[in-house]
Amino acid sequence: MGRSLILNASFEPLGVIAHRRAIVLVLREKAEIVERNGALYRSEHLQMEAPSVIRLRYYVHVPHRLHVAPSRKAVFLRDGHRCQYCGRPAENVDHVLPRSRGGRHVWDNVVAACRRCNGRKENKLPGEAGLRLHRRPSTPGDGFWLRLLVGQAEREWLPYLPGAGHPRTPGPSGGHPRTPGPGVRAG
């Protein structure tokens, strides 16, 4: 079963849900379809195109942003799957200040590294191993948790995701620039 991007009433992305859950939200009139992907779902009395992007009809307050731990997958995503010492494809995660020397497993101390640089560094500081960081590690910014959650984004989602390479500028009314497609009520 496919996935749908769910947006807040303000067009802020909230997460990813299964098509089935998205269809239920639309049928219960709790959400509206913003983008479709062409897949067709049928029941005895209903035929409906699968929603690729849905928008809640009401605003959901998000009290705090999700804290993303520096997992291997998350560090690779932040560092673009590149070794932060030499730029080659990364295979490992390295602690800049080794854990054996009091380094912690936090965003500011963890980088992606290739096998060669990681082996060369061992439990030394980068300077002691003759290595230099291309970019200082830091906690990822807003929107990172969503990129991690979404994974491979569908083409229809790109205009709604922060940092996806598509500018999102408000339209003349200050709302979202996209106009609703057929059968979609603006609101």
Higher-scoring residue by pLDDT: 105, 150: 105
Nearest CA to 14 out of 30, 38, 37 is that of 30
pLDDT digits (tens, 9 = 90+) for 128-182: 999 999 999 988 876 666 676 666 777 788 888 776 544 443 333 334 444 333 3
Mean pLDDT of the residues in the chain:
81
Prediction pTM value: 0.57
Q: How far apart are CA 101 and CA 50, in angstroms?
A: 53
For 91-111, what is the mean pLDDT?
Answer: 95
Q: How far apart are CA 65 and CA 128, in angstroms?
A: 37
Return the domain boundaries, the chain: 3-64+142-160, 72-121
CATH number of 72-121: 1.10.30.50
